[in-house]
Amino acid sequence: MGRIDDVLARRALGQAGDGPHTKALVAYLCCGDPDEAGSVDLAVACAEAGADVLELGMPFSDPTADGPAIARASQRALKSGGGLDATLRVARAVRARCAAPIVLFGYYNPLFVRGEETVVSLAAEAGVDAFLVVDLPLDESQSLRTRAAARGMGVIPLVAPTSRPERIALIAEVALRFPIPFVYYVSMMGVTGGAGATDVLAEASRQAAHVAKLTSRPTVVGFGIDSAAAAKVAAAEAAGVVVGSAIVRRIEEGTSPEARIDAVRTIVSELREAL
């Protein structure tokens, strides 16, 4: 997890005047879309273009929190042989080429079927720094947190606009005992992929700053960030932003490996410039 702490700390120092880029950029990709080798190249391209953290998505047949773009990517990835094992292979290959922190993003079912202990061990060997499991409630995650912490990895919690103060207090309590590299603030209710209104993203940024104070952990904003302008608004008071669907759409629109890499480099560079 130290890689995530280090990059967020560097961005925080930037807020104090150490360089022009002060906010973290977390870039999401669905592993296996368009294929395993392509995912490796695209993830490395994201890092080279300015992404601070790579969020590698495990494709899942019923991605309940994901909007149409990522759902389509998951279906394409599954058809090309994607899944937990393929995602771990992508992570291992990315780690061999790139020092960027890696978050393994997905749903709990594949971890449950394979076994938490096995998945944590494989993820650690692949160079993963943290897990983000969308449908694993905080108060049911102790076994995963314990196993991950034993291998130097964290588990990232999510907070939504509807989260009660007791939940945020629980995150603060958990952060005293287990590694939490950052908190993910969901800007709006619903699924990924929608364009967030400026006022919604601005409020999410303010709330993320509030969560960061209560939990003593950096807090980033995700959902609804589909452009450099939106990223700038969402990151104004937060530690950074997560961008997924906008990147996935560029991959979907690409007509060749080179076109996909160029498109991803372009959008990540634009986001980095805005931050």
pLDDT at position 126: 98
pLDDT above 80: residue 223: yes
- The single residue listed with the structure tokens 């394979």 is 114
Residues marked as catalytic: 55, 66
pLDDT at position 18: 46
Q: How many CB atoms lie within 10 A of CB 172?
A: 16
| Residue ranges making up the domain that contains 24 | 2-274
Question: What is the distance between the alpha carbons of residues 163 and 21, in angstroms, rounded to a whole number?
Answer: 30
Average pLDDT over residues 236-242: 96
Which CATH number is 17's domain given? 3.20.20.70
Q: Which of 7-21, 171-185, 193-207 has the lowest mean pLDDT?
A: 7-21
Structural domain total, the chain: 1
Residues of the chain by 3-state class (helix, strand, coil), percent to 5: 55, 15, 35
Contacts of 21 (CB under 8 A, 6+ apart): 11, 14, 50, 272, 275
Q: How confident is the model at residue 189 (pLDDT cuts 50, 70, 90)?
A: low
pLDDT at position 16: 40
Structure tokens at 100: 């960027």
Q: How many CB atoms lie within 10 A of CB 166?
A: 7
Contact (Cβ atoms closer than 8 angstroms) between residue 228 and residue 273: yes
CA atoms within a 13 Å half-sphere pointing along the CA-CB vector of 207: 22
Question: Could you read off the pLDDT of 9-48 as tens digits, one per residue?
Answer: 988 876 544 455 589 999 999 999 999 999 999 999 999 9
Q: How confident is the model at residue 8 (pLDDT cuts 50, 70, 90)?
A: very high
Q: Which residue has the higher pLDDT, 185 or 61?
A: 185
Question: Could you read off the pLDDT of 87-114 as tens digits, one per residue?
Answer: 999 999 999 999 999 999 999 999 999 9
Q: Which residue has the higher pLDDT, 14 or 206?
A: 206
Contact (Cβ atoms closer than 8 angstroms) between residue 133 and residue 55: no
pLDDT at position 65: 63
